Structure 1
Amino acid sequence: MLGDGEETPSRSELLSMVKRNSKLLGKTVLDEENSSDVERDPRFWHDVLDLYFFRGKESRRRQDDDLVFLVRKLGSQGYGSNDDKEDVSPYFVRRWAPKLDNVVGEISVDVDWRRSFYLNLIAHTSFTVTVAICSHQELLNHQAARDTPLSPIYKVVKTVYASPTRVNFQLDSKKEAETKPAYPDICFSVDDFDSTFDAVVLTETDHCYCVLLNADGGAAFPVDNKQHDSSSTDSSSRRTDTSNANTKNTKLTLFSGFVSYQMVRDAYDGILFSKSRFGSLLAFRNSPGKTDRLYMKGPGGRGEVDVAVSGVADQSHQDPGPFSPVVSKRGFGIGSIVRKAAAVATVAAKHAYAAAAASSSLDEEMVPLKCCLMSISLPWEYIANDLLFKPNPHIAGWATGRASFGLILPDPVE
């Protein structure tokens, strides 16, 4: 067993072992000649998981997330079977404990230890998503010559968390969400997507909607702690040391793509047309602000982006509404507050339409489109492979390595 009778390996040393035994990642047909016995040995992966997330020095220092994800073996308790039994989740979750065997107990025989290690490596890594509006022409120039500068017109950076669970957001007024297992896909959801990306509006035909997912710290970026005093018993001091040592550039891009305004517009119009049967522009005018879901396939078919798209209504001629007679004890009218908020929204909408009108052609009305990212999903093997093996050169600007991706229309409305 790893770690028995000798000093416990560090996370860096363990990750080196994992890299040497990860040749099967992404392969559906196992090549017996190119895979080692260790790579297929469940005991090896059990021990690596135990040392990396339970008994290792680093795992005891960093307890910001005490959830442990354990993947079931195919066929275990009905999972992966083809019969009519009730669906069984491909994984289960436990709370952290000092020893892995105490967490799993008698169901250890049902655990796929190899996949469990990779899933926890992903789940305990930190990620950020960048959503931006860029000029299509500048993107083309940048792709043709990497030294061409590229600055986003607008961007939002948001911390997201990897999860084997998919959140299906409802776009009606109730804003409800249902969750269900997504594994073997890993999802990065934005619960407050409507407020986080409220200002991400495409207002010109040259605009592109850009999405990047970066890993930037956590379990996949172990710190070499040999330079630190391992004899210290102050846990807060150890956490500080780990944080300071991990300030080097560790950003790694896992997903990068953009889609043009016209692609978004055509897909959005197609949905409205199928629902209204009266034409896209007429449908927009009859239901301003209507939000619909668009699925965008990643570059090369890798991954999927779920975006809530809505047309920004022209409020230049709308009445903000009657004055509210309700007044607080301090003399502030609720009506005046509502009108001020409405005025801010109106100004934003006017600016969007002014920009759109300035760049639109005579034969088609320019419709500003608000695009709110709800989630990104990627197969776990793609993520694990990138975290272990993708080169991590100096990132010259946030737009390095971008490629276009395509739109997928939802199922036709009956």
Structure 2
Amino acid sequence: MEFFIDAKHEVVDDLLFFVRQYVPSHKSSTGSINDQDPVLVKRRVAGQTPALTDVIDWKQSFFLNLISQLPCTLTVSICTRSNIEETKNSNGELQKKNTMIASKRITRKVYAAPYKSRMDVKDALMNECSYPLVYYTVNDFEMDSLHLQIGPGEYLCAELSVTIPNETTSEAYVKATELVSKITLEEDTDPFPLPKNHQKVILFQGAVPFKSLSDVYMQKGVAAAHQVKQGWGRLTDPTLVGPRTEYILMRGPQGKGQCQGTIDLI
């Protein structure tokens, strides 16, 4: 933990996370920290170890702080499928490979935190401790610059990754996401481009077609209209719900990870 307390290197946040160690209680078979958050949050003071009265799991605390200080790249793209002809196979037939071609793309730098924020509740930042799960949150998701329009035949693609430069300095890691965002669609139409001399570790990747998004939006609209009709008897037509924002969950391959986003009807 001295690495995170020391002031000689650049850090992205002045918060330190300390994981409470599970201590069995004689009065309860479930332990003594059930009513407490498993994570203590302390303000970082250069060169000083915060005063701690709880028993700390130092190994878990080290890894949690390491993850929370690691800059990650969130890339969201609107794509279409394209068939690319490859070489002929042994039967003389052309082999074709489906690939995604991005038409719109945005990239953001994000960091992990052991807290879950709800997108459907304003100002609900860091309102629920989620440890040992961590979340990468975009708090200003309502900004117009983060909105992407999708239409029939297109796919919404999302990826969360760690971009690893050849130069293993903290500055190089921080700038890696900036290099990704500078890659234009004219230079690379890949949904998730990678700068030269860089590698990446994919933490989450998923895609959902427009039709699925549209179906979910309509189903939630009908459900909302039904609830209003049952509660107040004011609506007789489910299509009269009006413009609204719906929240969806996108799950990764084999259920690994999940991504929450919003849908608005234009």
Q: TM-score, normalization: structure 2?
A: 0.70
**Is contact 1:223-1:245 (8 Å) kept?**
no
> CA-to-partner distance for each residue in 1:181-236, whole Å, 9 max, x for gaps?
111111111111121565412211x1111111122369xx9837xxxxxxxxxxxx
State the Cα deviation string for residues 326-346 of structure 1 (Å, max 9, x = none). xxxxxxxxxxxxxxxxxxxxx
Report the TM-score, using the length of structure 1 for normalisation. 0.47
1:63: how far off? Answer: 3.6
- The corresponding residue for 1:70 is 18
User: Residue in 1 aligned with 2:160?
Assistant: 213
1:311 alignment counterpart: 265
**Correspondence 1:142-157 to 2 at 5 A:** 150-157=100-107
The structure where strand makes up a greater share of residues is 2
Alpha-carbon separation, structure 1, partners of 2:39 and 2:245 = 33
- How many residues in Structure 1 have an aligned counterpart in Structure 2? 227
CA contact (8 A) 1:223 1:246 kept: no
Distance verdict in 2 for CA 1:140–1:185, change over 3 Å: farther
Question: Is 1:201 equivalent to 2:145 in the alignment?
Answer: no
SS of corresponding position for 2:13: coil
More helix by share: 1
- Residue type matched to 2:206 in 1? G
What are the equivalent positions in structure 2 for 1:11-410 lying under 5 Å apart? 49-50=1-2, 52-54=3-5, 60-75=8-23, 82=30, 87-97=35-45, 102-107=49-54, 110-135=55-80, 137-138=81-82, 150-170=100-120, 175-177=122-124, 179-196=127-144, 199-204=147-152, 206-216=153-163, 223=168, 243=172, 248-277=197-226, 283=238, 285-312=239-266
Q: CA RMSD in A?
A: 3.8
Give the SS at the match of 1:114: helix
Identity across matched positions, percent = 22
Partner of 1:391: none
Equivalent position of 1:337 in the other structure: none
| Rounded Cα–Cα distance in structure 2 between residues aligned with 1:124 and 1:140 | 40
Residue type of the alignment partner of 1:298: G
- Higher RCO, 1 or 2 (CA under 8 Å, sep at least 6)? 1
Displacement after TM superposition at 1:132 (Å): 0.9
Given that 1:75 and 1:81 are in contact with CA atoms closer than 8 Å, whether structure 2 keeps it comes out as: no
**Structure 2 segments unaligned to the other structure (5+ residues):** 87-94, 177-196, 230-236
Rounded Cα–Cα distance in structure 1 between residues aligned with 2:130 and 2:175: 31
Deviation at 1:163, TM superposition (A): 0.8
Which consecutive unaligned segments of at least 5 residues does structure 1 have? 1-48, 225-238, 313-414
Q: Partners of 1:168 and 1:140 in 2: how far apart?
A: 40
Report the 3-state secondary structure (helix = DSSP H, G, I; strand = E; otherwise coil) of the residue aligned with 1:201. coil
